Amino acid sequence: MASRTASGRRTWTFYLLTSLFAGFVLFLYGPMIVIYILSFQGETGGLTFPMTGFSSVWFHALIEGGRTGDISGSFQRSIVLAAITTVLTVLICVSAGLGFRRRFPGSGVVFYLAVASLVMPGIFVGLGISLGFQFAELETDWLISGLGAQLTWTLPFGLLVMFAVIGRFDRRFEEAARDLGASAWQRTREITLPILLPGIIGVGLFGFTLSYDEFARTLLTAGAKNTLPLEIWAMTTNVTSPALFAVGTVTTVISFAVIGSALGSIALIQRRRSRNAGTH
Amino acid sequence: MSATLNSGKIEVVAVTKTYSPGAPPAVDNLDLVIDHGSYCCLLGPSGCGKTTILRMIAGHETPTQGDILIGGRNVTNLQPVERGTAMMFQSYALFPHRSVLDNVAFALKMRGASVVERNAKARELLEKVHLEAFANRLPAQLSGGQQQRVALARALITNPRVLLLDEPLSALDEYLRLRMRGELRRVQRELGITFIHVTHTQLEAIAVADTVVVMAHGKIEQAASARDIFLVPRNAYVTRFIGGQNVISGTVERTADGSARAVTSTGARIEVPLKGRSASPGERIFASLRRDRVQVRRNTGGKPAQDSINAVAGEVHAIENQGSYVKVTVDLADGEEFVAHVLDEDFFIDPIDIGAPVIASWTVRDVHLLEDRQPQATGRVAAAA
């Protein structure tokens, strides 16, 4: 290795770069680690160090509700919203991605039009939607205007990922299937979708996490009932107990569970495909 | 079914394929007949239209103009599956998420065959290509040569009358390439169906094919048996592309006794048998000359004597030992590559060095007149061009 001298000792650059990377990791995760630790604050403890003990009392406070606001209600709404957003994002992005493989006049313009919406400031997208609803004399609601606002964010993102996934797909697989007598539907079901599946799961994962975390666009479009990020935001001004940190810990666990199950299912697919490897 | 429906005779009739309006056609008003049960190689550099023809026969491209007939039936507008053809794709396009067995059985599954039925047939084919032990593997777990055999089995499961092979050996290493081309030839003989094999490798085409079709710029330069393509090439393009021969040229001085006397651009005299064809004095004619029939000896006294014929003087430019022969490239100062294949045992009696002046000579029976002609040259510059 380059990081070792001829005598086998590590060079000084190895230590320099390693500490640089360690600093980077701390920079990334440090703030959240503080939150996780403080969420286990003792019963008499406050929002800051020192810890007066170690307890799970703040997690219980969350479930009981009351002085911590509508955490479980907003969590349920966020999960439902994220699930619907995920399904719609996957359906629309996969169809659009498959359709977009055939170049047509103006396809470049369509591509940039779809992707450029990513750079629009989210808070104004939300404002525009809420003004539009007001103008049309409609009530904003997390399941209607909120869903729409989130889709303006997840769809271009999902499309971008899908184009990358499809860009690596070799069309000869489909041609070979056609040569062997597969109809258009059979080709899609038997060849194209299974080969693209890991990428499609990736699109779904993006859709879920982007929606679950979304704040800027949802703020002015969620209507009377809050999603989880909005509820947490409200709590930071009202709640003065470590229950706030407990929310952070729980949402992190859920995010990792979602990502873990997505990666797990990709691994499972790949394992199933090579399940019989080595049997003679 | 009638005999004609089972026939794998291919007729390409006045086919033109243009991909975008205004662009030069990929295939230009091309006619080609391939007999049932023959092994045909489409040979040419990349972009010559050979793969386009293959794909049009398979039904993956539609001709802009013209018709394609298989077994006497016009299939121009039929789906690939209705043509009785099967295609083996370049780098095989084996479905990466399906086992070897499922890959081979795929066509039967699409036709609605039961699991038992299609797996039995697929196993039968895998046995033929000696891969029955690998039925449950994924394609990525096989070597290149094994993948090629899976692709072959997958294509053959529907009993096609024509097998279309797009660069079938290009994904293999040299050793496997040589072995598999013999294998392809054996399978074709055994099945007795038509094989059309696209390649850009001359030796591959000559080695396997009954008929070699040499293409350039969407047109056929020559379609002939592998032996004829080598022995009696039509023009300088085919001669240079197939290799193994030199192209020599000269301006005709006179014709007599069925042969032409010509003078090369460097002043050497050559004799070219006309074999019934004509050449008029003043015209520049071209001929092919087998490299393995050229003698090379040291030049001890300047230019060859004035009256000597079929001998040219030059300087050794490169020497490559090929094992059983030595490839001696001679610089004749006329811009055309001139090579002699000297038998190793002859060469090493008195090895020549690079830069040594030599005389290369041959006998008239190894010279073959080509179709290319250039009108009377009007000076040295034109003659050298």
Higher pLDDT, B286 or A263: B286
User: Residue B214 — pLDDT band, cuts 50, 70, 90?
Assistant: very high
How many Cβ atoms sit within 10 Å of the Cβ of residue A244? 22
The pLDDT of residue B382 is above 60: no
pLDDT tens for B76-128 read 999 999 999 999 998 899 999 999 999 999 999 999 999 999 999 999 999 99
Query: Do the beta carbons of residue B184 and residue B192 sit within 8 Å?
Result: no
Higher pLDDT, A266 or A273: A266
Q: What's the pLDDT score for residue B2?
A: 41
User: Residue B334 — pLDDT band, cuts 50, 70, 90?
Assistant: confident
Crossing angle of helices A57-64 and A71-99, rounded to 10°: 80
Q: What's the pLDDT score for residue A210?
A: 92
Contact A173 B93 (CB under 8 A): yes
The pLDDT of residue A278 is above 70: no
Q: What's the pLDDT score for residue A61?
A: 79
The pLDDT of residue B362 is above 70: yes
Measured in whole angstroms, the distance separating CA A129 from the mean position of its chain's CA atoms is 22
User: Residue B331 — pLDDT band, cuts 50, 70, 90?
Assistant: very high
Taking contacts as CB-CB distances below 8 angstroms, the residues of chain A near B51 are none
The pLDDT of residue B5 is above 60: no
Taking contacts as CB-CB distances below 8 angstroms, the residues of chain A near B95 are 173, 176-177, 191, 195
Largest CA distance in chain A: 78
The pLDDT of residue A6 is above 60: yes
Q: What's the pLDDT score for residue B1?
A: 40
The pLDDT of residue A277 is above 70: no
3-state secondary structure of B97: coil
Q: What's the pLDDT score for residue A113?
A: 87
Q: Chain A: give the shortest CA distance to residue B52, in Å.
A: 14
3-state secondary structure of B190: helix
Q: What's the pLDDT score for residue B275?
A: 87
Contact A172 B89 (CB under 8 A): yes
List domains and CATH numbers for chain A.
70-238 (1.10.3720.10)
Nearest residue in B to A182, CA atom: B110
Q: What's the pLDDT score for residue B185?
A: 93
Higher pLDDT, A274 or B343: B343
pLDDT over 70, % of chain A? 93
pLDDT tens for A163-172 read 989 988 888 9
Q: What's the pLDDT score for residue B305?
A: 56
Query: E strand or H helix at B253, and its extent?
Result: strand B245-256
Q: What's the pLDDT score for residue A185?
A: 93
Q: What's the pLDDT score for residue A150?
A: 94
Mean confidence (pLDDT) of chain A? 86
The pLDDT of residue B377 is above 90: no
- B93, B111, B155: residue with CB nearest A172: B93
B97 touching A (Cβ < 8 Å): yes
pLDDT tens for B363-376 read 999 999 999 988 86
Q: What's the pLDDT score for residue B385?
A: 36
The pLDDT of residue A17 is above 90: yes
Q: What's the pLDDT score for residue A80?
A: 94
Q: What's the pLDDT score for residue A143?
A: 87
pLDDT tens for A110-138 read 888 888 888 888 899 999 999 999 999 88
Q: What's the pLDDT score for residue A261?
A: 87
Interface of A with B (CB under 8 A): 170, 172-173, 175-183, 186, 190-191, 194-195, 273-274, 276-277, 279-280
Contact B95 A173 (CB under 8 A): yes
Rounded mean pLDDT, A31-43: 88
Task: Please give the angle made by the CA atoms of B374, B246 and B239, to the nearest 5 degrees.
Answer: 70
Contact A179 B81 (CB under 8 A): yes
User: Residue B58 — pLDDT band, cuts 50, 70, 90?
Assistant: very high
B80 touching A (Cβ < 8 Å): yes
Question: ipTM strictly over 0.85?
Answer: no
User: Residue B319 — pLDDT band, cuts 50, 70, 90?
Assistant: very high
Q: What's the pLDDT score for residue B103?
A: 96
What strands lie across the sheet with B259-263, from one edge to the other? B269-273, B259-263, B245-256, B284-290, B367-374
pLDDT tens for B254-291 read 888 889 999 998 888 899 999 888 888 889 999 999 99
The pLDDT of residue A252 is above 90: no
Task: Please give the angle made by the CA atoms of B217, B222 and B228, to the nearest 5 degrees.
Answer: 150
Q: What's the pLDDT score for residue B376?
A: 66
- Residue B295, token pair as written in the block: 């003698």
Q: Which distant-in-sequence residues (6+ apart) come within 8 Å of A46 by Cβ? A: A240, A241, A242
Q: What's the pLDDT score for residue B380?
A: 46
The pLDDT of residue A273 is above 50: yes
B121 touching A (Cβ < 8 Å): no
Q: What's the pLDDT score for residue A18?
A: 94
B350: left (phi over 0), alpha (psi -120 to 50) or beta: beta
The pLDDT of residue A60 is above 90: no
The pLDDT of residue B378 is above 70: no
- Residue A133, token pair as written in the block: 């609803």
Mean confidence (pLDDT) of chain B? 90
Query: Do the beta carbons of residue B372 and residue B235 sit within 8 Å?
Result: yes
The pLDDT of residue A2 is above 70: no
Range from A30-39, A77-86, B301-310 carrying the lowest mean pLDDT: B301-310
Q: Chain B: give the shortest CA distance to residue A178, in Å.
A: 7
Query: Do the beta carbons of residue B210 and residue B39 sit within 8 Å?
Result: yes
